[in-house]
A = this chain, B = another copy of it.
Amino acid sequence: MTAPLMAVTVDLAILTVRSGELCVLLVRRGVPPFVGDWALPGGYVLPDEDLRAAADRELREETGLTDIHLEQLATYGAPDRDPRGRTVTVAHLALTPDAPTPAAGTDAAEAQWWPVAGALDLGLAFDHDEILRDGVERARAKLEYSSLGAAFCPPEFTVSQLREVYEAVWGERLDPRNFHRKVTKTPGFLEETGGASSAEPGRPAKLYRRGPVEQLNPPLTR
């Protein structure tokens, strides 16, 4: 049997929290198909390129960001998902602290952060609605049982900043006192830096950085 050949792409659901809202980076397509529609950034995997390397490259090209959390999400390969021909896309999920709106890439007329609810109302190109929904779902689930919330925060952050991340991703308010107790009493989740932040009114908050723990046990609860 001779193997059927297909195009393979990577697409990125790059999430951040801006002003208390979970946002995704979308690009407006500048080439067919779906010209003018909004889409997740992505592109073809090169002949000698690893999937992870392709995702890293696209991330760098679209945002200039490096060293942010990037994980494989899922692979989408419905036979008719791309009108140009059979294309399988390996979707990735990236999480980043709030960053300036990046420059547009080569294939994209514009790039812009969108609140996820609004992005899903736009009607994205290809099956990117589904990918985005799955990515947001993954992010929500991972905040519960991993220390990934800190991936949305700058290197040093306060407990309040971290709580605002959880509130934005989960879309619900959390009790500041119980949240503080939980994250500071979980060994290895946070490390005190010694610094303090007095940007906000009120008592200055201690600064923390990510601790070594990846899995939270017991998990945080929505």
Copies in the complex: 2
With both chains docked as a complex, state the minimum distance between the C-beta of A13 and any C-beta of chain B, in angstroms.
15
A-side interface residues, number (CB < 8 Å): 33
Residues of B within 8 Å of A219, CB to CB, are 145, 218-219
Chain B contacts for A44, CB-based, 8 A: 1, 3-4
Which of A5, A44, A84 neighbours the largest number of chain B CB atoms within 10 Å of its CB? Answer: A5
CB of A67 within 8 Å of the partner chain: no
| Chain A residues with a Cβ under 8 A of chain B | 1, 3-8, 44-51, 72, 74-79, 84-88, 90, 145, 217-219, 221
Q: Can you show 14 pairs from A to B with CB atoms below 8 A apart?
A: A1-B44, A3-B7, A3-B44, A5-B5, A5-B6, A8-B77, A47-B86, A48-B79, A50-B79, A72-B74, A72-B75, A75-B90, A77-B90, A218-B219
